[in-house]
Structure 1
Amino acid sequence: MTDSAQHAPETDPTLLAALRDAVQGGLPTTIADLSALIRVPSVSWSAFDPSAVQASAEAVADLARSTGVFEDVRVVRSAIAGAEGEGADATAGTDGGAALGQPAVLAVRRARNGRPTVMLYAHHDVQPQGDEALWETPPFEPTLRGERLHGRGASDDKAGVMTHIASLRALRAVVDDADLDLGIVLFVEGEEEFGSRSFTTFLREQREHLAADVIVVADSDNWSTDVPAITVSLRGNVTFRLTVTTLEHASHSGMFGGAVPDAMMPMVRLLASLHDDAGTVAVPGLTRYDGPVPERSEEQLAAEAAFVDGVRPVGEGPLLGRMWSGPSVTVTGMDVPSVANASNTLLPTVSARVSIRVAPGQSATDAFAAVEAHIRANTPFGARVDITDVDTGDGFLVDTSGWAVREARTAMTEGWGAQPVEQGIGGSIPFVSDLAAEFPAAQILVTGVEDPDTRAHSPNESQHLGVLHRAIAAETILLARLGTRSV
């Protein structure tokens, strides 16, 4: 995962200058459109208003039509995988009782004269804003501070949506419609932040429209605000609810404490068993991916992750290897009485939400089996353990030997003025493995508009506008180059 010199030939200078001018000229409109999307609180979680996600989808569909590129633009809803009546016509609304996923946008332009087809993926749904008191600006009011546009979804992934839209506008400004033979599919999902529950159904139903030679997933990170990256490995994920129960009901801690195990005691010991003293994951059967990683200092990591004074990294080995190539275990929430409401009782039951990142190359199913076996073998005091709400997603390793990666390296170098770094990502994008399974012949490029200070999913999320500009330039150049190739 290092810099590579494997590039395709440079772009014709006259064409390159025209593409750059078109991108530059379109930036004010791009930023205005991004700001309008941020104002739509398109949280796809079930507890939030679905009409906002519908409004967001309609706005993206209008943006797709504005490019003047597509023959057909639709807002589509598909049944959630496994839901009753899944095979019904969910798009038309006659779902026969099926539970539908959130609306996606599908726009299609068919290839001509033997040119390839590229699928452009992004998602228009966002994470909840969380505690608004932690935001320095209103989460759904786009606010420009320096070079960064702040707001929920500003980067993840409405800037990804606008990268595709702006690139298509710039391409269309330079290349006449009659000369644009490249096939283009725009797929903007509406529930990526809520588990992509209808994704597999959508792929199956829309397979004919989605089939592509190259898939560009604009939902990842860059090395810095000045250096682009191609993501070549993604960790998988396993999440579940862990419930530990020791008593039928709460009991007085003074009367029974010392002999009767409260639920917190085995829960704490069980969670502690998932790591060793160095903070390395200690679950037999969880594997690591053996791949090269660039250097990163502890000081740089501490600054990027906002360590408080005195905190040091956990785990062993190269820092980026710990985050890209190995497993991690995080407790992301617990159901226990608050400190304000704590009484002197022994807790009968305690629940925790456990999130596990799985090394590239290991299936999420195998990883969950290993973790479940560890929990069963290490539960103390005979406590009852229940594992529910299990969700899994596989990681992915990108094949970097194809011509599309070489084209992307050249386009990124010309669009950013710096050679891209091939990097891993500690986070998970499970649908990438679904895309690869459905379209095994397609070459997949994982790109994005984030940078180390984006704070995606967190309060004060923002998009660096210089990164947005360069990402649009790189994608526009890539599309122009793909339009001259033959399949």
Structure 2
Amino acid sequence: MPVMTTPIMSESEVRAAVERELPGVRADLERLVRIPGIAFDGFDHSHVERSAEAVAELLRGCDLDVKIVRRGGQPAVIGKKVAPPGAPTVLLYAHHDVQPVGDRSLWESDPFEPVERDGRLYGRGAADDKAGIMAHVAALRAFGDRLPVGVVLFIEGEEEFGSDSLEQLLEEHREEIASDVIVIADSGNWDIGVPALTTSLRGIVNCFVEVRTLDHAVHSGMFGGAVPDALTTLAKLLATLHDDAGNVAVEGLVGREGASVDYPEDRFRAEAGLGTGVEFIGTGRITDRLWTKPALAVLGIDAPATGEAPNALVPAAKAKLSVRLAPGDDPKKAYAALTAHLEQHAPWGAQVAVTFEHDGDPCVIDATGPMFDAARSAFRTAWDGTDPIDMGVGGSIPFIATFQEMFPRAAILVTGVEDPYSRAHGPNESLHLGEFARVCLAEALLLAKVAAAGANRS
């Protein structure tokens, strides 16, 4: 393999270049945050189109060959710059779509008008994941025409809505996005001031369970006491999903102990916003409960509103369930186990119907080798000597398993801009601007170190 002829920028040069670019990067981040690109059904998807066009313009400004692609879903953006002779190619992933804002009254400012307060930038997508896009852009701008690696940017447009068309897009563009290293900027760091590489993520199964006890509503006085109402029946069924300690009680789900990082309970309580006197659920270390064991939550219930409910027994009630799967579990087997549990525990002979919504694979990453060493070195430098930790994440990024399957020889680095106070997906989502500056520096240093590692291997 030919050896690179373009000198790699020094650490001091990279640091100065990133610092020079940060004001413009922040301004462009704020422009992205103002676009309400929500890929969920029922929202104006013209904003997702606007978001894709804005991202494409940013990548063209970095001298990349750019195209907007889709496969039946929302638009993704691919930008590419061929590697210098002898240099590796790095795939940089992020997504430009965002979560719905929910109840706007819970936001302290307009979710689509970025506002700085106490060193944090507030707005929907400010952290998840438009800052991930801009961290990539910051690194490219810092190098300019001295980029030491080839890059492919893949900026997805429907990650928050389930990435339904992502696998087809990856397969269709497989050859042009094939890379030696994949950086997925959609996770977070361990704490403010402490960087991390994400090395495991839970999978997910979402479904609906409907309980029916009657073919129509009946008078609660005339029939109550002998006839079960559907809401009470549903509540009793949902209560079987956990044991008395709060562990998931569905037989057949995978779970284990052995997380390598401790999570102080007082810190976790504060970050979660747990109410005074409310106890944790489950047993074992906090990190085991979050990373290596299943979790099951009731996300919503369809039932009469309290202000409108008549004195009648409800004939049917429906709940949405979400199961987070431990690494090593299989979503299809997990869904079958959950369905069997719900059907077998139907109270009082009630009719139970389970409907699948979506699922996603968990993953574990073997974070060893020269590219992971390069990443840890870059993080250590950007965070002024603080060593990064390897952490699990309780959330799910199912397409990582797809990347692992499609590009088995690539080193997959899962990074991100979030911290424990970012409130991604919730009201008042925010980005810590100091940490964002470190993330941008770390990514630029990473590209330089990946280039050096690739040159050494050749």
Interval of TM-score (by shorter of Structure 1 and Structure 2): over 0.9
Residue identity opposite 1:148 in structure 2: R
Q: Within the alignment, does 1:35 sit opposite 2:35 as a pair?
A: no
Deviation at 1:14, TM superposition (A): 7.5
* Cα distance in 1 for residues equivalent to 2:75 and 2:348: 48
Find 2:421's aligned residue among 439, 449, 453: 453
CA contact (8 A) 1:416 1:473 kept: no
* Cα distance in 2 for residues equivalent to 1:244 and 1:14: 63
Residue matched to 2:4: none
Deviation at 1:181, TM superposition (A): 5.1
Q: Within the alignment, does 1:187 sit opposite 2:154 as a pair?
A: yes
How many pairs does the alignment contain? 448
Deviation at 1:13, TM superposition (A): 11
Query: Which aligned pairs between 1:78-477 and structure 2 lie closer than 5 A?
Result: 78=71, 100-172=72-144, 176-177=145-146, 180=147, 182-417=149-384, 418-477=386-445
Deviations 1:208-237 (A, max 9, x none): 111111100000011111010100000000
* Cα distance in 2 for residues equivalent to 1:298 and 1:13: 44
Find 1:65's aligned residue among 60, 67, 83: 60
The DSSP-based 3-state class of the residue aligned with 2:242 is coil
Deviation at 1:297, TM superposition (A): 2.4
User: Percent identity at matched positions?
Assistant: 50
Residue matched to 2:3: none
* Cα distance in 2 for residues equivalent to 1:211 and 1:398: 18
Residue identity opposite 2:423 in structure 1: R
* Cα distance in 1 for residues equivalent to 2:439 and 2:449: 15
CA contact (8 A) 1:298 1:313 kept: no
| TM-score normalized with structure 2 length | 0.96
Deviations 1:309-363 (A, max 9, x none): 1111111000111011100000011101111111111111101110000001111
The DSSP-based 3-state class of the residue aligned with 2:290 is helix
* Cα distance in 2 for residues equivalent to 1:457 and 1:64: 26
Q: Within the alignment, does 1:25 sit opposite 2:13 as a pair?
A: no
* Cα distance in 2 for residues equivalent to 1:44 and 1:403: 37
Structure 1 residue runs without a partner (length 5+): 1-11, 79-99
Structure 2 residue runs without a partner (length 5+): 1-6
- Runs (4+) off by over 3 Å: none
Deviation at 1:443, TM superposition (A): 1.1
* Cα distance in 1 for residues equivalent to 2:101 and 2:260: 33
CA contact (8 A) 2:252 2:337 kept: yes
* Cα distance in 1 for residues equivalent to 2:66 and 2:258: 41
Residue identity opposite 1:291 in structure 2: G
* Cα distance in 2 for residues equivalent to 1:343 and 1:206: 56
Deviations 1:447-467 (A, max 9, x none): 000000000000000000011
CA contact (8 A) 1:361 1:396 kept: yes
| TM-score normalized with structure 1 length | 0.90
* Cα distance in 1 for residues equivalent to 2:28 and 2:258: 40
Residue identity opposite 2:355 in structure 1: T
Residue matched to 1:75: 68
CA contact (8 A) 2:148 2:447 kept: no
CA contact (8 A) 2:259 2:291 kept: no
CA contact (8 A) 1:41 1:53 kept: yes
* Cα distance in 2 for residues equivalent to 1:18 and 1:111: 20
Are the structure 2 counterparts of residues 416 and 181 from structure 1 closer, same or farther at C-alpha, using a change threshold of 3 Å? closer
Are the structure 2 counterparts of residues 397 and 289 from structure 1 closer, same or farther at C-alpha, using a change threshold of 3 Å? farther
Residue identity opposite 2:103 in structure 1: D
* Cα distance in 2 for residues equivalent to 1:77 and 1:337: 40
The DSSP-based 3-state class of the residue aligned with 2:344 is helix
CA contact (8 A) 2:271 2:421 kept: yes
RMSD: 1.4
CA contact (8 A) 2:325 2:331 kept: yes
